[in-house]
Amino acid sequence: MNIQDLRYVVAVDDHRHFGRAAEACFVSQPTLSSQLRKLEDSLGVELFERAPRKVMPTTVGRLIIHHARGVLVEVDQIEALAKAAREPGTATLRVGVFPTLAPYLLPHVVTPLHRRFPDVELLWVEEKTDEVVEGLLNGRLDAGLLALPVVEAQLHHEPLFTEDFVLAVPADHELADAQSVGTDVLVGADVLLLTEGHCLRDQALEVCSLVGAAERHGFRATSLETLRQMVAAGVGVTLLPKLSVSPPVAQSADVRTVAFETPAPSREIAMFWRRTSVHAELLAQLAAVIADLPAELVQT
């Protein structure tokens, strides 16, 4: 058994397809399949069930894959330590960001981060919260930008900023010209929300539940932009994060945003990484740069 064998095993589990796993590992499919067979022979167990159109880990295979992922995380840590010693201040970091934050935050932080850390390569990965957490735990990601709360004992988090929500209404809505509104305006309104799996949906539902409001049945958006377009079409109202309505995001002439009265509903954004990460000190420095956002971008 060697490290490359473990990488093959994890790749097959990730892709559930030998051809795609081989492509991801930059080897031919016969090479990957042959190495996996040799590994199974040496262990005396089958790691995968092989069907014509389906590859699934066996019961013992799932356990071995779990440990293989842990070993690869440790190997990556060793390599990262060695690189940091050889080339101080350099690193390649994979950072997960959830979809209702990534396109609105990154334009404000990518340039300052590159300017402050020119030898750090940041690979941004847009995924839903659960996928980012899973990526952090299995070592696929080095850090994640997430909304609190996230309860994982293995993860450290560094608070970044509080982002207010605003009310988005159609341009001809009775509240379109209001200076500010209370959250009670949601009661009886057709509140549009994202589909399951988006943390913004949970955050908006929490605000609605506090005032006794409910979402509009029969519609759930798959993205924030779809949500915005449905408001423009007059289907209902929604809650939008302040960054998503701040420059340089173009605003629709058919949508008006209204601030909520203080204290406005909001979400807490933090940066997460494994407590054992060899990049912990560097990640804390990155977090400090991200946290240094102008207040007007995130607060009403």
Residue (of 281, 290, 270) closest to 133 by Cα position: 270
Task: Specify the DSSP class assigned to residue 249.
Answer: S
> Across the chain, where does the E strand assignment appear?
48-51, 54-57, 91-97, 120-126, 143-147, 155-170, 180-181, 238-241, 255-260, 266-274
All structural domains of the chain = 3-83 (1.10.10.10), 89-161+268-298 (3.40.190.10), 164-266 (3.40.190.10)
Provide the token pair at 204.
Answer: 């908006």
Tens digit of pLDDT per residue, the chain (300 long)?
899 999 999 999 999 999 999 999 999 999 999 999 999 999 999 999 988 778 999 999 999 999 999 899 888 888 888 887 787 778 899 999 999 999 999 999 999 999 999 999 999 999 999 999 999 998 899 999 999 999 999 999 999 999 999 999 999 999 999 999 999 999 988 899 998 888 889 998 899 888 888 787 777 888 999 999 999 999 999 999 999 999 999 888 999 999 999 999 999 999 999 998 989 999 999 999 999 999 999 998
- Cβ burial 85-94 (10 Å sphere, 16+ → b, else e): eeeeeebebb
For residue 83, what pLDDT is reported? 80
Residue 164: strand pairing partners: 266
